[in-house]
Amino acid sequence: MSTTENNQSQPATVPDAPAAEAHAHPGFLALMLGSIGVVYGDIGTSPLYALREAVVAGSAGGAPVRDTVLGILSLIIWALTIVVTLKYVVILLRADNEGEGGTLSLLALAQRAMGKPSRLVLAFGIVGAGLFFGDALITPAISVLSAVEGLKLVTAAFDPYVLPLTIAIIIALFLIQSRGTAAVAGWFGPITLVWFVLLAVGGARHIADDPGILAAFDPRRAVAYLIHGGATGFYVLGAVFLAVTGAEALYADLGHFGRRPIQTAWIVVAFPCLALNYLGQGALILAEPDALENPFFRLYPDWALIPVVILATAATIIASQAVITGAFSLTRQAIQLKLLPRMEVLHTSESHAGQIYLPQVNAFLLVGVIVLCLLFGSSSRLATAYGIAVTGTMVVTASLAIVVAWKHWRWPLAAAVLLMAPFLAIDFIFMAANLLKVVEGGYVSLTVAAIMFAVMATWVRGTDIIAAKARRDDVPLDLLLGQLDRKTTMPIVPGTAVFLTAEKDLAPVSLLHSLKHYKALHEKNVILTIAVAGKPRVPESERVRLEPLVGRFSRVTMTFGYMEEPNVPAALALCRKAGWKPDIMATSFFLSRRSIRPAARSEMPRWQDHLFILLARNAANATDYFRIPTGRVVEIGTQVLI
């Protein structure tokens, strides 16, 4: 497939509201409630482990000291204020690609704004996508583990069952993905809202244990701790960052809920409840130092432990579900943007196009999450692996935002840099702090990101090489059609033939082989090119472009957004408005199936050759991917050396 460019001039201001808000949406309160469930599920479960890990790291095995607890609490509160509120809620939610957010949406917007493909921008996008998959593996593991570990406070007899029960919940979570999340999603908002209320109540009832804990709102406490904490203070930053993991979901889910519902949900519900809970945990730790073993569950009376554990488990499942569906959506975007090979995409809802299921991705995540649970065994050990993936994604997002502000919003480069530089500096500091934990577990995120980077970079490079070979070796379409127009003895058979090609100016390989073997033409012949725009959705008025060519030939260009599923038959129906009335039952689709072999002298390293060939062989069939009726398809094999 080829990518079309759509570089429209934009005013030198930040857009006032994303296009998504112009769409028909449910009521504002319903969107706000939905965003509480989906957008804030991940960050809403951070109190289960974030403060505990930070204070344990800051105490270096000893009893927690007052200045340490206040300094760490101040760091958490101001991290939530600066990173989440200012960077994401106030600024990045405005950097939408026609209403859609997320790393790849930002990549597509940056590439479109640049006017021509940029390998540096593309590399940033690939790194961000790779890091997201690391996050998608770790989030279900650490979230469910930390919730189930609360059972140990009820009785130590539950200790041997924590890991088996966690794995059972995770397996069940991934097994239901194929059934869709429509029914369950309706409960996400209400359950998570109850969870946030529980956070606030649990924290508020313990602030009175030590009212001096409110001094954590003073940013000087955070600064003083970092100055006097030395190497320990810097190390603690890696644990503090656990409190803001999930902030990327604010941006990624922009298209589902719109900017204002997400902003309101954070300011009115999520942020106040999180702050109260962290303050309550801090006050409890100062009043009862032994509560540091599990300060979150110690906020609640013994009689409430089991209900709280059940609700915590439900909240962590919701947080995990949001990350899993995010991985499905990200993969579909990557496929459309030609960063990954075609995969089987199944729709699980007749009314919601965004609810999809990718069996290959689901299997990859299930195996990866179980391996992480078995490898680390506890949420405390797994916490060391968590921060790198999220901090890396945030660095990528901030970097791409500079390009968008410069090229798309038409800001001066200096202004764009000044806008994001403070946030980028904070992201780099958090990343450096998390990199100290590479040996303890951070290697997991880096390994997953490296694997995904290798896969996507190989696919991009391999498809570029094949496209270059096609342009160099194939026959120009104009030349072939001129020859066919002069050949008056060519037999004509009834019906329509559609030849799919990625290069609209070159003769499709399937057409050349059809002429070679059948030595005949159909009554009507269509050269079909499927293009992907740099925007999430394309209106039907722009979906199809029909151009008459020489003789019996026409060219049809179908354009889809990178968040849409290509549906060739449905798009062909739109050709009726252009004067062509295709009969699908009298139409044959000719596709060329490439058999790729490594060349003696390849343009890629040998390992990349074999990886690209493996990816190509396992790519989903074009017939299924483009929804073409299988009974109307003729596939012609060709061999390509790479």
Alpha-carbon distance of 115 to 207, in angstroms, equals 54
The model's pLDDT over 538-561, given as tens digits with 9 standing for 90+, comes to 998 889 999 999 888 999 999 998
**Residue 19 scores a pLDDT above 80:** no
Residue 350 binned pLDDT confidence (cut-offs 50, 70, 90):
low
**pLDDT given at position 165:** 94
Residue 281 binned pLDDT confidence (cut-offs 50, 70, 90):
very high
Percent of the chain with pLDDT over 70: 93
Mean predicted confidence (pLDDT) in 40-50 = 91
**pLDDT given at position 299:** 95
**pLDDT given at position 25:** 45
Write 148-156 long-range contacts (CB < 8 A, 24+). 148/309, 148/313, 149/294, 149/378, 149/379, 150/294, 150/296, 150/297, 150/305, 150/308, 150/309, 150/312, 151/309, 152/294, 153/294, 153/297, 153/298, 153/305, 154/305, 154/306, 154/309
CA-based nearest residue to 112, from 342, 333, 409: 409
Alpha-carbon distance of 97 to 107, in angstroms, equals 9
Computed over every residue of the chain, the mean pLDDT equals 86
- Residues in contact with 341: Cβ distance below 8 Å, sequence separation at least 6, in sequence order: 335, 459, 615, 616, 618, 619, 620
Evaluate whether 243 touches 383 at the Cβ level (below 8 Å).
Answer: no
Phi, psi of 585 (to 5 degrees): -80, -10
Phi-psi region of 519 (alpha: psi -120 to 50; beta: other; left: phi over 0): left
**pLDDT given at position 624:** 85
**pLDDT given at position 184:** 60
Percent of the chain with pLDDT over 90: 40
Residue at 469: amino acid letter:
K
**Residue 340 scores a pLDDT above 90:** yes
Q: Which residue has the higher pLDDT, 189 or 203?
A: 203
The model's pLDDT over 441-470, given as tens digits with 9 standing for 90+, comes to 888 888 988 999 999 999 999 998 888 877
**Residue 179 scores a pLDDT above 80:** no
- Residues in contact with 150: Cβ distance below 8 Å, sequence separation at least 6, in sequence order: 294, 296, 297, 305, 308, 309, 312
Alpha-carbon distance of 483 to 521, in angstroms, equals 13
**Residue 280 scores a pLDDT above 90:** yes
Evaluate whether 620 touches 342 at the Cβ level (below 8 Å).
Answer: yes
Query: Strand pairing partners for 476?
Result: 506
Least confident of 43-47, 133-137, 526-530: 133-137
Phi-psi region of 258 (alpha: psi -120 to 50; beta: other; left: phi over 0): left
The model's pLDDT over 356-383, given as tens digits with 9 standing for 90+, comes to 788 999 999 999 999 999 999 988 888 8
**pLDDT given at position 12:** 38
**pLDDT given at position 445:** 85
**pLDDT given at position 551:** 84
346-347/356-357 β-pairing: antiparallel
pTM score, two decimals?
0.82
> What count of other Cβ atoms lies within 10 Å of the Cβ of residue 293?
12
Evaluate whether 76 touches 278 at the Cβ level (below 8 Å).
Answer: yes
What is the SS3 string spanning 211-229?
Answer: HHHHHHHCHHHHHHHHHHH
Mean predicted confidence (pLDDT) in 150-175 = 88
Residue 26 binned pLDDT confidence (cut-offs 50, 70, 90):
low
615 Cα distance to chain centroid: 20
Q: Which residue has the higher pLDDT, 77 or 448?
A: 77
**Residue 491 scores a pLDDT above 70:** yes
**pLDDT given at position 54:** 93
Residue 349 binned pLDDT confidence (cut-offs 50, 70, 90):
low
Q: Which residue has the higher pLDDT, 158 or 362?
A: 362
**Dihedral of the CA atoms 197, 202, 206, 207 (nearest 10)?**
-30
Q: Cβ-count burial of 567 within 10 angstroms (0-12 exposed, 13-18 middle, 19+ buried)?
A: middle
Name the 3-class secondary structure at 419. helix
Q: Which residue has the higher pLDDT, 79 or 617?
A: 79
Alpha-carbon distance of 14 to 408, in angstroms, equals 9
What the block records as the tokens of 513 is 């082989």
Alpha-carbon distance of 382 to 33, in angstroms, equals 30
- Residues in contact with 443: Cβ distance below 8 Å, sequence separation at least 6, in sequence order: 385
**Residue 143 scores a pLDDT above 70:** yes
Alpha-carbon distance of 350 to 548, in angstroms, equals 36
**Residue 10 scores a pLDDT above 70:** no
E strands in 290-436: 346-347, 356-357
